A and B are shown apart, each in its own frame.
Chain A
Amino acid sequence: MKRPAARKPEDHEEEPLAKKQLQTKANSLLNAKDVDTKALKTFVHLLKDRPDHVQPADVMNVLEVIFKNLLKRRALDGSEGKSLKIREFYEETWLLLRENLLTESTVALKVCFQLIRAEAKHSLAPRKGWPAYRIREILETLLGDKEETPANALTNYGKYCKNLDVLDITIKHLVDLVPAKDFKDAPIQAMNFLHLLNLVDLGKSVLNAAEYHVETIKLKTFNLEQCSKRLNDIWAAVMLKSSGVEERLHRQMLVVLLERIINHLEDPIQLTDFLMDSLHQFDGPIALLALQGLFTLMQKQNITYPDVYEKLYNMFYPRMFYNKYKARLFYLADIFLTSTHLPENLVAAFVKRLARLALQSPTEDAVIMIRFVCNLLLRHTGLQKLIRSSQTAAADEISDPYDEQESNPVKSQAINSSLWEITLLQKHAVPEVANAARFINASLPVMEHELGALLDRKECNIFDDELQSKAKQFALNYERPKSLALPKNEVVTKYWDLI
């Protein structure tokens, strides 16, 4: 009983006075033999009225301590007037906590889950075991927000969702909570739901960790099969409502599908239509995500999709560097082009296109694409004639036969071309790119380059790397500038009237 009371002041000695006062009051309340309902009422009302001098987070923390102790003492059980009264306050606190869930998500969620744990240990009279209804309340609150997506609250909830019991209950309740309206009518609610669904992670890391929020209860029987079955149900319901949704929602659906659902679906073939439609109707990120979905289907369900390479080929265009999912595209392309049995003229078209794009792309992508081209040349040794043509062929000068505009990679004549782009890239101003492009001068490397590490790099990483390079010889101009203009090769003052 004394333990929490004694610990608190020690830990936070420099806390503002209001908080200290609150804690001492709580202490006295708990230390008293009989629970003073009036005092309890003031606490609850503090949260309700939100006076200026008190932080709601502090109040919630104090309330957590109080109710945890009361639950332990079983002060809420029983039928006499006092316990009923306390019970009433408890329920009111829950309501208030739910109100705070969206604004003070970190503390409120923590308090909620602490109380859930306490309640599970010392269950209240009519209900037994895990207070699953509480989770439902929380979920409803998270879903109910009308204006915007409560991003903070969702990420915080995601942390608790790593616990298998919470996960189980969440899935159970989500089945019922699928929005009643069509997605296009209530986009925000749908979005919230999808975000929540995105938190449901049945991945291996979570299952292997096997953590439980409430340890003591014997609810450790987590049933994966049942969960995936429920997920199937949820997705079926989602698919029903999802006709004609807007682009953002569509994208989110695809993300959730790819990240969380598709591995657990019993009959993923049904998705084919959805993915095909996504692939054909949209381009850019949605098409990309759909392509990834299709790829999964091709891998697992053996479906065939006739011109997947053409689609992939056409996803490489200059604007794609500014897409959010470009790393995914590179990753996918790498996988799609892994096979060494692909026709050479097809791969050559990819090689040419990548090289061409490297001439327009930001630095980090240029490096990726040069390495990728190098990998492709290694996989398809026949393609090495792009950089090592026979001496007779090299004698005469030609213009590039590769047709950039042709959308069909096979017809692009790339195989008859040569990789002049890479020679041009050797003249890139950023030394990293120039060095990467020099691979064609020497014999090709034995091993393929690892692309994974490169995919996550940003432009600023290259900047930082450059700063850390060891060579610190500050070579200076040897000609003293007399004014703004350089002694020779002046450009700025030629085209600017600055002075």
Chain B
Amino acid sequence: MIATLALSSLIRHRARTALAILGVAVSAAMLLDMVMLSSGMRESFRSLLLSQGFQLRLSPKGTLPFDTEATIRSADSLVALLRSRATVAAVSPVLGGQLHFAVGNATLTATALGVDPAVQGDYELIAGHSPTAPDEVVVNDAVLRALGRAVGDTVRAAAGYDPQLRTLSGQRVLRIVGRVRFIYLALDQRAAALPIATLRAMNGPASAGRASLAMVRLRPGVDVDRERAALEAQLRTVTVISTSEALKQVDERLSYFRQLAVILGAVSLVVGFLLVTTLVTVSVNERIGEISVMRAIGVRRWRVVAQILLESSVIMLVATPVGLALGLVTARWLNSILARFPGLPERIDFFLFQPSAAWTALGLLALSGVLAGVYPSWRGASLPIATTLRQEAVG
């Protein structure tokens, strides 16, 4: 009977019920989006950093990897020292730079990464093979498109360009041996990778023995934080960054979005709560006479409360899945806007659906909506029966 009465009451005020469901659904969508935003980019970045299994990154003292043009001197001895440690499974040195490809009379510039192909963690091979010989290079689709070349072709490239003399320096003829996807670079960013020794030689003496970054993969079971502290204490010219440290930096830089997400998520929760409270209060006030009659004919107080709570529960239960669908659609739209950040790696998602977080948020909204009906329903069911009936009858 409770369910029938609750449903009849909702159906009797169709417009009001529909608007309430829509209002709660939009609140739920907003809350879901904000939960996805607050945790999504962190998780997305974490999985990006750990995707190749390197837990530590060494960059020039006081800098973040590739945040400046600074490089590590004597990088080869640093790599040798790292490889000699029992805790280290692999070390991948990376030198950043530029390659200028000659295209007719013009040049086409691309980001260049000098890597150790055997242990590199900067790209995924799509076609061909990694550069093993000194004159081999792998490039991404953006370079292939711009050059109009394919895997197997040769290109003339230089590491330096003097704009005043319009001359190229450190020129080499390189053979494209692979098509790759760079993990940490933007999708539309032209990039190429070649053996680090080749890039150093092309750069000239200033680059000898240097690296921009060294990535370290630890052996299974090694305590990452302890190893980071040990390396930091031992190596004075580099900053050692663990994944958690990098995430802390990311958190700091993107704290604006996280805080925005928390504020808007809280506002959504409050709006959902207020909406249901208002609806239930008005609904109870309208039906005071009806409630008093029910009480007068012997319906228990808890059954009256249960009926009203059921109404708010139905609104929440119908609105939450609608909100979930709406939230996923808007998250996709918002993510497509933020994905246009210049230089953002392709794999970074600002809005990441994590079932546990999403269900917790939506469950919280549903619970708050149901609780919002407790006070008005209890107040309605507790009114003095005779007085209320007389007032209702007299008007």
Q: Do A and B come from one complex?
A: no
Interface positions of A (Cβ within 8 A of B): none
Interface positions of B (Cβ within 8 A of A): none
